[in-house]
C-alpha cells in the first residue's frame, strides 16, 4: 500500500512539474532554439478549458468522437480476432487472405480517406471505416502470432479426451492466445485515436479532431491545446479500460509488482524422523 501511494504521488508530481515548466517557458516568452513566445500559458489553456466545458458543442464533439472510436474499435476487434485465428489455423485461409493482408497492411489508414469517400455515402461511415482499418491490423497480427505460438500438446490433450474442433477453439486456442490478443487490442486502441482525429480533421463535420483543426484555422491556440488535452485524456481513459478488461479476463495469469521487494527466504523446520531424529537440510542463503 505504501509503495502504491508513493508511485501515485510520483506520477502526480511529474505531471505538476511538466505543467510548471510549461508555465515558466510561456510566461517569460523563452526563445532559445525552440520558440515559446507563441505558445499559450497553462492558465490560458485552463481558462479556455473551463469555457469549453460549459458549452454544448464541446460535449457534442466528445460524444461523436467516442461513438466513432467505440464502433470502429469493436468492429476491428471482432474482425481482427476472427481473421487472425483463421489465418493461423487454416492453410487455405492463409493462402487466400495472407497476400492481400500483407499488401494492404503497410498502407497508413489515414491514406484511405479518398477510398472511404468513394465507398461510403456519408462521412460518418467513412471515419468509422478508417478507425476500424487502423485497429484491425494490430489486432489481427497479434492474434495470428499468439495462435501460432501455442503448444500443440494442449490441442492433442483435448483430442485425446474426445474434444472436437470447436471445443479446441474455445478451451485451448482462444484462452491460450488471449494475452497476445490483448496486447494487440492495447496497440489498436491507440492507433484508432490517431486515425480518427486525423480523419475528423480532413473530412469530419463534428468531433474533437474537427474542432481542434477549426481552432487552428482561426488562430485560437488555447482552443487547440484544449483539443489536444481532450484527445490525450480520452485516449488514456480508453487505453486504461482495455487494460482493466484484459486483467479481468486473464486473472489466471501470475501478477508481478515491480515496487514490491523480494521476500526473504525463510528457514524451514527440519522434518523429524522417529528413528533417527532430525534430518539435516542443506543450508539456505538468507537475505540480510
Of the candidates 59, 185, 76, 197, the one whose C-alpha atom is nearest the C-alpha of residue 127 is 197
What does the pLDDT read at residue 129?
94
Contact (Cβ atoms closer than 8 angstroms) between residue 168 and residue 206: no
Residue 204 in 3-state DSSP?
A: coil
Mean pLDDT value across the chain: 85
130-146 average pLDDT score: 95
Residue 263 has pLDDT above 70, yes or no: no
pLDDT tens digits for range 203-222: 777 899 999 999 999 989 99
Residue 200 has pLDDT above 50, yes or no: yes
What does the pLDDT read at residue 255?
63
Q: How many helices (H) and strands (E) does the chain have?
A: 11, 2
Whole-Å CA distances, 154 to 82, 88, 91, 183, 263: 21, 16, 20, 22, 34
How far is the C-alpha of 132 from the C-alpha of 58, rounded, in Å? Answer: 24
Of the candidates 151, 158, 156, 173, the one whose C-alpha atom is nearest the C-alpha of residue 82 is 173
What does the pLDDT read at residue 271?
52
pLDDT tens digits for range 81-130: 999 999 999 999 999 999 999 999 999 888 888 888 889 988 889 999 99
What does the pLDDT read at residue 285?
43
Residue 286 has pLDDT above 60, yes or no: no
**Cβ-proximal residues to 195 (8 Å cutoff; 6+ apart), any chain:** 109, 110, 130, 131, 133, 134
What does the pLDDT read at residue 141?
95
pLDDT tens digits for range 9-63: 888 899 899 989 988 988 888 887 888 888 899 999 999 999 999 999 999 999 9
Q: What is the pTM of this model?
A: 0.79
273-282 average pLDDT score: 48
Domains of the chain: 55-249 (1.10.3720.10)
Residue 140 has pLDDT above 90, yes or no: yes
Task: Select the highest-mean-pLDDT range: 13-27, 69-83, 121-135, 139-153.
Answer: 69-83
How far is the C-alpha of 244 from the C-alpha of 222, rounded, in Å? Answer: 33
Residue 139 or 176, more confident: 139
How far is the C-alpha of 39 from the C-alpha of 13, rounded, in Å? Answer: 23
As to burial, measured by CB atoms within 10 angstroms (0-12 exposed, 13-18 middle, 19+ buried), residue 102 is exposed
Amino acid at each position: 500500500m505504501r509503495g502504491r501511494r508513493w508511485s501515485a504521488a510520483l506520477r502526480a508530481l511529474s505531471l505538476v512539474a511538466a505543467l510548471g515548466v510549461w508555465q515558466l517557458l510561456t510566461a517569460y516568452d523563452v526563445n532559445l532554439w525552440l520558440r515559446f513566445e507563441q505558445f499559450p500559458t497553462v492558465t490560458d489553456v485552463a481558462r479556455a478549458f473551463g469555457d469549453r466545458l460549459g458549452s454544448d458543442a464541446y460535449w457534442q464533439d466528445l460524444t461523436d468522437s467516442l461513438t466513432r472510436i467505440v464502433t470502429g474499435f469493436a468492429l476491428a476487434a471482432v474482425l481482427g480476432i476472427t481473421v487472425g485465428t483463421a489465418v493461423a489455423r487454416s492453410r487455405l485461409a492463409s493462402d487466400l487472405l495472407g497476400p492481400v493482408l500483407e499488401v494492404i497492411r503497410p498502407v497508413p489508414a489515414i491514406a484511405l480517406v479518398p477510398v472511404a469517400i468513394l465507398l461510403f455515402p456519408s462521412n460518418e461511415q467513412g471515419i468509422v471505416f478508417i478507425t476500424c482499418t487502423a485497429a484491425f491490423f494490430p489486432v489481427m497480427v497479434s492474434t495470428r502470432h499468439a495462435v501460432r505460438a501455442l503448444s500443440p500438446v494442449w490441442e492433442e490433450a483435448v483430442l485425446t479426451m474426445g474434444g472436437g474442433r470447436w471445443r479446441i477453439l474455445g478451451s485451448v486456442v482462444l484462452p491460450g492466445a488471449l494475452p497476445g490478443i490483448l496486447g494487440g487490442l492495447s496497440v489498436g486502441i491507440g492507433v484508432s485515436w490517431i486515425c480518427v482525429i486525423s480523419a475528423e480533421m480532413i473530412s469530419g463535420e463534428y468531433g474533437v479532431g474537427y474542432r481542434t483543426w477549426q481552432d487552428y484555422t482561426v488562430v485560437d491556440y488555447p482552443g487547440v491545446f484544449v483539443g489536444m488535452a481532450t484527445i490525450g485524456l480520452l485516449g488514456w481513459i480508453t487505453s486504461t479500460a482495455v487494460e482493466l478488461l484484459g486483467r479481468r479476463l486473464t486473472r489466471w495469469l501470475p501478477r508481478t509488482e515491480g515496487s514490491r521487494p523480494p521476500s526473504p527466504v525463510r528457514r524451514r523446520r527440519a522434518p523429524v524422523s522417529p528413528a533417527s531424529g532430525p534430518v539435516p537440510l542443506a543450508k539456505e542463503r538468507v537475505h540480510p
